[in-house]
Amino acid sequence: MMDDLSTPPDSVRLQGLFDAMRTAARARPVVDLATRLDRLTRLRAMVLTHEQALVDAIGRDFGHRPAADTRILDIAPLLNAIHHARRRLKSWMRPRRRPVSWLFQPARAWIEPRPLGVVGVVAPWNYPLYLALGPAVDALAAGNRVLIKPSELCPAFSDLLARIVADSFAPDELAVVTGGPDLAARFCALPFDHLVFTGSTAVGRKVAQAAAPNLTPVTLELGGKSPAILAPDADPARAARSILFGKIINAGQTCVAPDYVLAPRDMLPALTDALHGRARDILGDGPCPTAIISDRHHARLMGLLDDLPPGTRVQTIGRDDPATRRMALRLVIDPAPDSALMREEIFGPILPVLPVDDIAQALDFVAGRDRPLAAYVFARSSRAARAHLAPLVAGGVTIGGTILHLAQDELPFGGVGASGMGAYHGSAGFERFSHMMPVFDPGPVNAFERMGPRFGRMAMAAYRLLRMR
């Protein structure tokens, strides 16, 4: 491939980096604690050293994104994940003893975590730093080499990340490749030991198809329509505050943002008033602070509004600023369930609010659609909310709030069904990117093997005992 003049240079570099990582991983399949900690420490130092440059690059890619938002939503969770992994890594790496059946006594059994090898990460644009390096934290902690493909919608950030990673890591440890959809397709077709993708369900299907010929295991963090469900005894003001927290940050461009609200019919006036008032407190007369990432994404969101049937009630809070692609928040009251707004993941500052007759109808509405990446339940108490959760299946849940389960290092983050497969974060991520290798030591006696072959009286006596249990 290196001699094929028709192969684009970025693909040549991609193949070279992958080959170097795979060779290094096979030559050193066991990675000690000190090496893993060193890599995590260098990653932290890299982020802190280039913090301002990262903030500036992400701001340029969005066109407008408050520096504080990038620090709080991208950098802070990444630093926290690194800190958590460094503190817990020694215990994660320990062998885990497992019980042994009486038939095999006096033997021992345990599980030893082993690095998988080379992990590929295809990162999205909405949280470009955290969703590129967050999975890398877990993969590096597990002893792997990591190759990252950032989104082409963040060119300034992607180029900067490639440079600073190259300055901080050997190319066979951690590396970044940049390019468009063609490179992404070649990336996903490489025989990684594990591939992580964060993005839309439609693209996630293509990633899984590209990985299938190599039998590459995948973790797909996708999306979907994450509901916020209010029980009849919920506090509308408190729910409104939490829902808008999850909806307005990053202008709704968050995979676990509340996509729509289901509320009791008689609560709808109080809830919409609370949502309107709280949004006015946050936005005033201006737009959402963060811009929509591209003209194409902005046009899609405006198209969802344009396609609403005549007579649909829409409340606009704040104002649009088309020149900067910053949008007002819109509440869409009782949209048609078959509208594009209710079929597609919104991924922007538009919030449908739908009335239901009771909590059972709300849960049936959610159950009748693809399983969401997240769900949010509001009730008078945590105990009541947990009771409502019983029939609900979602990637993750926050009770009495939104998106906060994602920030917990020891809660796995992942989807279910159309919203994804696999999960990472903390110990779940360490195990996701490790081969949990079983080991069995029969000891000096190895009594089971003495029963056969051929199996005789001793083996049959053991069999009769087994049947009696």
Q: How many CB atoms lie within 10 A of CB 267?
A: 20
- pLDDT digit string (tens) for 279-338? 999 999 999 999 999 999 999 999 999 999 999 999 999 999 999 999 999 999 999 999
Determine the Cα–Cα distance for residues 451 and 458; give it in Å rounded to an integer.
Answer: 6
> Beta partners for 120?
147, 195
State the pLDDT at residue 8: 66
Nearest to 260 by CA among 123, 328, 353, 137: 353
Determine the Cα–Cα distance for residues 178 and 123; give it in Å rounded to an integer.
Answer: 11
pLDDT confidence tier of residue 459, bands split at 50, 70 and 90: confident
State the pLDDT at residue 447: 75
Q: Is 221 a catalytic residue?
A: yes
Q: Does 153 score more than 60 pLDDT?
A: yes
DSSP per-residue codes, 221-243: E-----EEEE-TT--HHHHHHHH
Checking phi first, is residue 334 left (phi over 0); if not, alpha (psi -120 to 50) or beta?
Answer: left
Core vs surface per residue 162-193: b (16+ CB within 10 A) or e: bebbeebbebbbbbbbbbeeebbebbbbbebb
- pLDDT digit string (tens) for 39-69? 999 999 999 999 999 999 999 999 999 999 9
Q: Does 4 score more than 60 pLDDT?
A: no
Least confident piece of the model among 36-40, 45-49, 196-200, 463-467: 463-467
Which DSSP category does 152 fall into?
T
Determine the Cα–Cα distance for residues 307 and 453; give it in Å rounded to an integer.
Answer: 73
Cα within 13 Å of Cα(462), Cβ side: 15
* Cis status of the peptide bond prior to 322, with omega within 30 of 0: no
Average pLDDT (199-218) is: 97
Determine the Cα–Cα distance for residues 164 and 131; give it in Å rounded to an integer.
Answer: 17
- pLDDT digit string (tens) for 90-129? 999 999 999 998 888 889 999 999 999 999 999 999 999 9
Note the Cα 22 to chain centre separation in Å. 25
Q: Is 255 a catalytic residue?
A: yes
State the pLDDT at residue 448: 76
Average pLDDT (27-37) is: 97
State the pLDDT at residue 443: 87
Average pLDDT (449-466) is: 80
State the pLDDT at residue 46: 99
Q: Which two tokens stand for residue 149?
A: 């493909």
State the pLDDT at residue 2: 39
Core vs surface per residue 208-228: b (16+ CB within 10 A) or e: bebbeeeebbbbbbbbbbbbb
Helix 33-49, helix 76-93: angle, nearest 10? 170
- Of 154, 173, 221, 431, which residue is the catalytic one? 221
State the pLDDT at residue 468: 85
CATH dotted code for 227-407: 3.40.309.10
CATH dotted code for 10-223+420-437: 3.40.605.10
pLDDT confidence tier of residue 466, bands split at 50, 70 and 90: confident
279, containing H or E segment: helix 268-283
- pLDDT digit string (tens) for 361-415? 999 999 999 999 999 999 999 999 999 988 999 999 999 999 999 999 999 999 9
Q: Does 3 score more than 50 pLDDT?
A: no
Nearest to 180 by CA among 63, 10, 54, 13: 10
Nearest to 435 by CA among 206, 118, 2, 114: 114
CA distances for 76 relative to 38, 68, 250, 268, angstroms: 20, 10, 15, 36
- CA dihedral angle for residue 379, residue 383, residue 387, residue 392, rounded to 10 degrees: 70
Q: Which two tokens stand for residue 428?
A: 């779940």
- pLDDT digit string (tens) for 341-356? 999 999 999 999 999 9
Q: Which residue has the higher pLDDT, 103 or 277?
A: 277
3-state secondary structure of 31: coil
Determine the Cα–Cα distance for residues 192 and 149; give it in Å rounded to an integer.
Answer: 13
What pTM was estimated for this model as a whole?
0.94
Least confident piece of the model among 24-38, 149-163, 454-468: 454-468
Provide the mean pLDDT of the chain.
95
Q: Does 1 score more than 50 pLDDT?
A: no
- Of 154, 173, 188, 255, which residue is the catalytic one? 255
Instruction: Spell out the SS3 assignment of 391-442.
Output: CCCCCCEEECCCCHHHHCCCCCEECCHHHEECEECHHHHHHHCEEEEEEEEC
Q: What is the spatial order of strands in the sheet that 227-230 belongs to?
A: 313-317, 329-333, 350-356, 260-264, 227-230, 375-378, 397-399
Which DSSP category does 289 fall into?
S
What are the boundaries of each domain within the chain? 10-223+420-437, 227-407
